[in-house]
Amino acid sequence: MTGAELVTEVASTIGRDDIDARIVTWLNLGLKQALLAYPFYEAQMLGTIPTVADQEYSLFSNMTLAASPAKVLRVIAVWPPTTYFDREPLDAKSLVELRSNNASTTGRPRQYGFSKEGATNASALYWWPTPDDVYTHPINVLTIPAEIADDNNDLSVEVLEDVVLNFAIARGFGSMDEAELYERWYRTYTMALSTAIESDRKIVNVYRKAKPFRTRSTTRGHGLGTFILKAEG
C-alpha cells in the first residue's frame, strides 16, 4: 500500500476524514516502534565508517551507507576492516566500559561504543584501542529507510504494512477514548507484529545458507552481505 492508501484506510476505519496529518504521525510512530522491537531485514543498511588516527571517536556524519535513510535508529554490528581476516564483529561496549580501559593504548580498534551525544554533540562511535591509523570498518545499522507520507510512495518496509496500519487504527480509536476498540486493534497490531517478525526470520534463514562473507545482489536489505546475517544469528 502507498502512504496515501494507508491514510485512507485508517481514516475510513476510525470514521475520521479530517485528521490526515495525525494519521501520518501515528503511522510513522508504528513504523519506528516495530523497528525498535526487531531489526527487520529490509531496514538494515550496510556501510563503512573510517577511523581518524589518534582520535578516539568517528562521527556518524563520516559514515557512508548504501542509501540515504530517513533516520539511523541503532548500530547492529561493526566489523574489522576488510583487509583483515577477522570473521567476528568488534565487541560492543558501553562508553563507561570503554573508558575503564587503558586510554593510552593505541592500535587497531577491537571494541566500540555508540553515543548519540558524543563529540561536538553529534552521534559518534568511540573506539578502543584509540586508532593509530585510518581503518575503514564495515558497519551494519538499523534504519528507517523512508518515513511514511500522504503520497503515492510505497511503504519502505513492505513486511510491516499490516503492522503500521493496525497501530495507527488503534491510536486513532485511543484518541477518541474508544477504550474497547483501542484494545481490540492494539491486540491486532501485536499479532501482526509477531507475524511480520516470523516472516522476516524466514527470509534471513534463506540467506543464512549463503557462503560466509559472500555478497549478494538484492533490492532487500540494501545490498547487505552475510556480514549482517551473521550479526543477527
Instruction: Give the separation between CA 91 and CA 184, rounded to whole angstroms.
Output: 42
Strand partners of residue 57 = 126
Q: 3-state class of 151 per DSSP?
A: coil
Containing domain of residue 66, as a range? 1-233
Instruction: Please tell me the predicted confidence (pLDDT) of residue 221.
Output: 52
- Name the one residue in this structure whose C-alpha cell is 533490492: 219
C-alpha cell at 35: 523497528
pLDDT in tens, 156-191: 899 999 999 999 999 999 999 999 999 999 999 999
Contacting residues for 188 by C-beta, under 8 A, at least 6 apart: 166, 169, 170
Q: For strand 106-107 and strand 130-131, is the pairing parallel, antiparallel, or unpaired?
A: parallel
| pTM score, whole prediction | 0.81
Count up the domains in the chain and report the number. Answer: 1
- Tell me: the pLDDT tens digits for 44-91? 999 999 999 999 999 988 999 988 898 888 899 999 998 777 778 999
Could you say which DSSP state residue 38 is in? Answer: S
CB 4 within 8 A of CB 12: no
Tens of pLDDT, residue by residue over 127-150, are 999 999 999 999 999 999 999 999
